[in-house]
Amino acid sequence: MQISSEMRELGRRAARELAPVFEKIDEVALENTERVLDAFRKERISEAMLSDSTGYGYGDVGRDATDLIAAKVFGGEAGFMRPAIICGTHALTIGLFGLLRPGDTLLSVTGAPYDTLGEVIGTAGTPGNGSLADFGVKYREVPLRDGTVDMAAVKDAVAGCGATLKVVFIQRSKGYLNRKTLTVDEIGEIARAVKGWAPHGVYVVVDNCYGEFTETREPAAVGADLIIGSMIKNPGGGMADAGGYIVGNSRAVELCGYRLCSPGIGTEAGASLGQNRNFLRGLFLAPHVVAEALKTAHFASYVFDALGYKVSPSAFERRSDIIQTVSLGTPEGLVGFCRGIQYASPVDSFVSPEPWAMPGYEDEVVMAAGAFVGGSSIELSADGPLRAPYTAFLQGGLTFESGMLGILSAAEYCGKAK
Ligand SMILES: *Cc1c(COP(=O)(O)O)cnc(C)c1O
């Protein structure tokens, strides 16, 4: 690889100085691995459960076991994990349509949700496409204040919604916003507070994307009624070919099952299409793989900070998701960063990323993704819009070794900040 000896030396220094941080990450991975193994033992995972079903998928013991494991590992009463869910947005759509009825109100307390949810809620897109708004579901949001949840405003909003309030929505990860990621404890506090303020009862729903296994508990264990995410991010451990999951309290998960399939059938059918083995193996690997991705993020933060770029979070800051941002300052810097990541990828390393006008985005976007699974972002990947301050959003890394090489390669392409 074309990485200078200077850059390799910076990499060695980063790994040395980050050793205490890595030790903490390893402790979390160990505890999470034990939780996964305990769940596997309690559900008596057997070789027969790794096999496959087709058609209706009746009697698919592996699928049923995977659902139970998902619930146990994430601290919910029930759950499901299915390859028929094509992405995180799809899983979140199932969750919201599963719970909300005409006349109900959805309240987001972390400002505007992830971009793709605008058309689901009906704040973006074409009326008549079947958004929640089309079905008479009302929507309110409480903007973040100084990058964090504005609890006083949330209290007022809960009171303002009155008995129509059905779902309080929390996005754990900063996603592509410039804010802090919420910790599991913080989500627990918000859940407790809103439940206290809404005497008629509400469902607390958490967009858990990119947060799984970065801490030793998930939000379902501290009061969230549903947590929702993608299997080609953290919980798939790089093994899942596709899929999403929903975990939470029994009634909420049952309602989502009716929306996933149909009322009556719910989660009792559905062919696993060869993913039982991948899901179970992925969950087994996920605590370790997420640790590798976290180390890669810390490493990137250290290296690019040392080169004079603005990074977030900082190298020694504790994390609750796997996303790292690096602001490159120029279009050439951002494109170079993505080219460096792509060059060090196992798949499509010979491709040179170019900015393009992606549908739904205001500015051109450049992406690096040399992954075994299309669009998987637990694998080392980076992207960013071509607009000041030219920030790259970086995440993933199935192994810390490949993550390090990817970051050093990107550093080589970018050089010192001007
Ligand atoms: C990735 C992500 C989603 C879902 O995105 P998909 O591309 O549909 O899987 C939703 N919310 C957040 C915060 C995310 O990071």
pLDDT tens column, 148-168: 999 999 999 999 999 999 999
In this predicted structure, the answer to whether residue 179 has a pLDDT above a threshold of 90 is: no
Q: What is the mean pLDDT of residues 267-284?
A: 96
| Domain range enclosing 383 | 5-32+286-414
Closest of 294, 290, 276, 196 to residue 238, by C-alpha? 290
Whether 139 and 95 map to the same domain: the answer is yes
Helix/strand/coil (H/E/C) assignment for every residue in 24-39: HHHHHHHHHHHHHHHH
Whether 176 and 303 map to the same domain: the answer is no
In this predicted structure, the answer to whether residue 360 has a pLDDT above a threshold of 70 is: no
Percent of the chain with pLDDT over 90: 95
- Final residue belonging to a domain, choices 231, 256, 283: 283
Does residue 225 sit within a domain? yes
In this predicted structure, the answer to whether residue 99 has a pLDDT above a threshold of 90 is: yes
* Residue bearing the bigger pLDDT, 394 or 359: 394
Separation of CA 88 and ligand 1 centre (Å):
5
In this predicted structure, the answer to whether residue 418 has a pLDDT above a threshold of 90 is: no
> Which residue type does 172 have?
R
- Final residue belonging to a domain, choices 283, 301, 331: 283
pLDDT in tens, 5-56: 999 999 999 999 999 999 999 999 999 999 999 999 999 999 999 998 999 9
Whether 87 and 219 map to the same domain: the answer is yes
Whether 91 and 132 map to the same domain: the answer is yes
Residue matched to tokens 């499901």: 80
Round to whole Å and give the CA distance between 327 and 310: 5
What is the pLDDT, as a whole number, of residue 191? 98
Whether 129 and 259 map to the same domain: the answer is yes
Closest of 212, 174, 198, 203 to residue 325, by C-alpha? 174
What is the pLDDT, as a whole number, of residue 217? 97
Q: What is the mean pLDDT of residues 336-340?
A: 98
Separation of CA 48 and ligand 1 centre (Å):
32
For a substitution probing ligand 1, which of 174, 178, 207 has the most ligand atoms within 8 Å of its CB? 207
Whether 264 and 300 map to the same domain: the answer is no
Separation of CA 31 and ligand 1 centre (Å):
26
Q: What is the mean pLDDT of residues 276-290?
A: 98
Whether 9 and 72 map to the same domain: the answer is no
In this predicted structure, the answer to whether residue 146 has a pLDDT above a threshold of 70 is: yes
Tell the residue nearest (CA) to atom 12 of ligand 1: 209
Q: Report yes or no: 418 and 399 within 8 Å, Cβ to Cβ.
A: no
Separation of CA 209 and ligand 1 centre (Å):
6
Tokens found for residue 166: 């059905």
In this predicted structure, the answer to whether residue 105 has a pLDDT above a threshold of 90 is: yes
Does residue 44 sit within a domain? no
Query: What is the arrangement of strands in the sheet containing 365-369, beginning at the earlier edge strand?
Result: 310-312, 324-327, 391-395, 381-385, 365-369
What is the domain-level CATH number for residue 296?
A: 3.90.1150.60
**Number of separate domains in the chain:** 2
For a substitution probing ligand 1, which of 114, 117, 205 has the most ligand atoms within 8 Å of its CB? 114
- 375 torsion bin: left (phi>0), alpha (psi -120 to 50), beta (else): left
pLDDT in tens, 191-249: 999 999 998 889 999 999 999 999 999 999 999 999 999 999 999 999 999 999 999 99
Does residue 212 sit within a domain? yes
Whether 17 and 134 map to the same domain: the answer is no
Does residue 39 sit within a domain? no
Tell me the backbone φ, ψ of residue 309, rounded to 5 degrees: -95, 160
How many angstroms separate the first and last alpha carbons of the chain? 24
Would you place residue 121 in the very low, low, confident or very high pLDDT band (cuts 50, 70, 90)?
A: very high
What is the pLDDT, as a whole number, of residue 199? 82
Would you place residue 178 in the very low, low, confident or very high pLDDT band (cuts 50, 70, 90)?
A: confident
For a substitution probing ligand 1, which of 120, 174, 209, 393 has the most ligand atoms within 8 Å of its CB? 209
